[in-house]
Amino acid sequence: MDELSNSPGPRVEVVNTHCREFMQAIKDIQVNLREEIKSACEYRPFEKCDYISRISNEICCKKLEYVIEQLDNMKQGIAQYYIAD
> Do 27 and 55 fall into the same domain?
no
> Do 62 and 39 fall into the same domain?
no
Segment 6-30 shows an average pLDDT of 87
> Do 60 and 23 fall into the same domain?
no
> Do 57 and 30 fall into the same domain?
no
Does 45 have pLDDT greater than 70? no
pTM of this prediction exceeds 0.75: no
User: Rounded to an integer, what distance in angstroms lies between the CA atom of residue 35 and that of residue 46?
Assistant: 18
User: In this predicted structure, what is the pLDDT of residue 54?
Assistant: 87
Residue 18: which domain range?
1-43
39's CB contacts (< 8 A; 6+ apart) are 53
> Do 52 and 28 fall into the same domain?
no
CB atoms within 10 A of CB 56: 16
Crossing angle for the helix pair 51-84 and 12-41, nearest 10 degrees? 160
